[in-house]
Amino acid sequence: MSVTAAKGFTAAGIAAGIKENGNPDLALVVNNGPRRAAAGVFTSNRVKAAPVLWSEQVLKSGQLSAVVLNSGGANACTGPKGFQDTHATAEKAAEVLGVGAGEIAVCSTGLIGVLLPMDKLLPGVETAAAQLSEHGGEKAAIAIKTTDTVHKTSVVTRDGWTVGGMAKGAGMLAPGLATMLVVLTTDADLDSGSLDRALRAATRVTFDRVDSDGCMSTNDTVLLLASGASGTTPEHEEFAEAVRAVCDDLGQQLIRDAEGASKDIKVEVVGAATEDDAVEVGRSIARNNLLKCAIHGEDPNWGRVLSAIGTTRAAFEPDRLNVAINGVWVCKNGGVGEDREKVDMRYREVHIVADLAAGSETATIWTNDLTADYVHENSAYSS
């Protein structure tokens, strides 16, 4: 049900001809109110795509009537013309929906450095508007796919209100693999300040800790729109938990569909002096190409875990580090622990626990293995 699970929303997904292969490439999500509160979180890459610059700007009002999303082109590094194209897209959507362009967010994903075919995109917005439906969430989720093999949606329903959403890509806000676009909707009756708090708290521990390949996109965007159509105003904690649950679910789906991956790796850092230390160590492990290759080869090479920990500024003593892989403590006190032959790595999920023995803080980062398929997919992507 995706972005139309919550009351007050309609959506559509169509093939506008932006993608040369004729696959769906344009999605429209409309908030029919009564409220039109919104919040957003964007890539921390300093090279931001035109749609990110635009959407950051319009979000300042805390109000959104609709989101236009296209796959088939990122509209990044496209100069003033690229920004004009984003602006024209918002104007077109505003015109057909009878609202102001300043209430329209725009998201794009695809190749960087290529202008969008506006002669196809603008008519596509009209076509999509004509197909808006309370059952259109699924089609919208399909239309934003790029290298995704499946579309990703998630819904959580609580007492009288719902949070739903869709996602594409495999990555995170900072950093990200390919572009991650996420639109979340809710019929809870909340203002933009509440949405913003819940969204930031959720992304910080979900999408932000999904680190498939350490590369940060120019286009990553997560939006949360509230219609108030349920007439219910949940407690902040309850709402924040629901948003986090949807983000967590979508984040897991992104990892499971990461380009070329054969393993999903849960890197859990425990015993850290601070949460920041835990996140830094988790990212360092998650980004270590040598370790990611070893996991691909089903090799519990804990030395590469220690080597990755050693590059961080986190508080730890080398001879107190412990590492478990799939439940076997293969490294104890910085040296050889239990027999590595005991580690069973046949399954897709691999669980690494790194114990810094320096405190009680923890963090979990999700990543993938590094495979020949990843290389193949990303060496053939634009040519």
| Binding interface with a copy of itself (CB under 8 A) | 45-48, 74, 76-79, 81-82, 111-115, 175, 177-178, 213-218, 287-290, 293-294, 296-299, 301-304, 306-312, 316, 318-319, 321, 331, 333-336, 370-372, 374-383
Sign of CA dihedral 127, 113, 105, 194: positive
| Closest-CA residue to 57 (of 33, 40, 74) | 40
User: Kind of pairing, strands 162-168 and 181-186?
Assistant: antiparallel
Q: How far is CA 108 from the centre of its chain?
A: 14
Taking the C-alpha atoms of residue 221 and residue 309, their distance in angstroms, rounded to an integer, is 30
Taking the C-alpha atoms of residue 230 and residue 232, their distance in angstroms, rounded to an integer, is 5
179, 186, 203, 221: which is the annotated catalytic residue?
179
CB nearer a copy of itself, residue 97 or residue 354: 354
CB nearer a copy of itself, residue 68 or residue 258: 258
CB nearer a copy of itself, residue 68 or residue 76: 76
In terms of Cβ atoms closer than 10 Å to its own Cβ (0-12, 13-18, 19+), residue 319 is exposed
CB nearer a copy of itself, residue 1 or residue 281: 281
Enumerate the β-bridge partners of residue 363: 269
Least separation, in Å, of the C-beta of 146 and a copy of itself?
13
Least separation, in Å, of the C-beta of 2 and a copy of itself?
28
Is 378 annotated as a binding-site member? yes
Least separation, in Å, of the C-beta of 278 and a copy of itself?
16
Is 179 annotated as a binding-site member? yes
Is 154 annotated as a binding-site member? no
Is 146 annotated as a binding-site member? yes
* 179 is an active site residue: yes
Taking the C-alpha atoms of residue 166 and residue 94, their distance in angstroms, rounded to an integer, is 22
Enumerate the β-bridge partners of residue 162: 157
Least separation, in Å, of the C-beta of 152 and a copy of itself?
21
End-to-end Cα separation, the chain, in angstroms: 35
Q: Looking at the annotation, which residues are catalytic?
A: 179
Annotated binding site for substrate: 146, 168, 179, 259, 378, 383
Residues making up the annotated binding site are 146, 168, 179, 259, 378, 383
